[in-house]
């Protein structure tokens, strides 16, 4: 049951911490592979799942059919650009309030919240304006 150290897990974790976007398992794999060519995709998945279960990282499902992983476990929400697919952080002050409000009107126990906005990011808006 106790977790033992592994170089692979360390690399996966470290890589995730360097990224502000929210890479998929495959992106993690492709990157960690540069430094550790023999690592297998299964190992990446297993460790991402393990780290997420332990609360050290966060698994995101933003609706593009692929899981994303976030090294930042603080309460924050995300924005998904429906044009380029990028997932970025979006800071909002009212999340704590929202949490307590939801809890007040609900008879179960709320443990986690996940908010995601969808639309077109600034860069993609610019891109389209130039085109037309």
Partner DNA sequence: ATGTAAAATAGGAATCATTACTATTTTATA
Partner DNA sequence: TATAAAATAGTAATGATTCCTATTTTACAT
Contact set with a copy of itself (CB under 8 A): 59, 61-63, 77, 79, 81-82, 90-94, 97-98, 101-102, 105-122, 124-125
- Residue number, 55 or 65, with CB nearest to DNA: 65
Total residue length of the chain: 132
Q: Considering the rule CB under 7 A, would residue 94 count as an interface residue with DNA?
A: no
Q: Which is nearer to DNA, 33 or 98 (CB)?
A: 33
* Dihedral sign, Cα of residue 26, residue 30, residue 31, residue 36: positive
Partner in contact with 5, chosen from DNA, a copy of itself, none, beta carbon below 5 to 8 Å by kind: DNA
Please state, in angstroms and rounded to a whole number, the distance separating the CA atoms of residues 27 and 33.
Answer: 10
| Closer residue to DNA (CB): 21 or 123 | 21
Candidates 18, 38, 91, 105; binder of DNA (CB under 7 A) is 38
Backbone angles phi, psi at 106, to 5 degrees: -125, 140
Whole-angstrom distance, CA of residue 28 vs CA of residue 36: 12
Give the shortest CB-5-to-DNA separation in angstroms: 3
Q: How many CA atoms, within 13 angstroms, populate the side-chain half-sphere of residue 123?
A: 9
**Cα gap 105→41, rounded to integer Å:** 43
Binding positions for DNA, rule: CB under 7 A:
1-9, 24-26, 36, 38-43, 45-47, 49-50, 65-67
């Amino acid at each position: 049951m106790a977790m033992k150290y592994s170089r692979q897990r360390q690399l996966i974790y470290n890589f995730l911490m360097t990224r502000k976007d929210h890479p998929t398992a495959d992106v993690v794999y492709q990157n960690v592979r540069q430094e550790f060519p023999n690592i297998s995709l299964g190992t990446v998945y297993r460790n991402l799942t393990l780290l997420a279960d332990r609360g050290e990282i966060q698994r995101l499902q933003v609706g593009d059919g692929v899981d994303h992983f976030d090294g930042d476990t603080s309460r924050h929400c995300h924005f998904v650009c429906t044009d380029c697919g990028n997932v970025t952080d979006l800071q909002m002050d009212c999340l704590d309030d929202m949490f307590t409000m939801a809890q007040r009107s609900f008879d179960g126990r709320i443990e986690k919240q996940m908010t995601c906005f969808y639309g077109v990011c600034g860069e993609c808006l610019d891109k389209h304006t130039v085109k037309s």
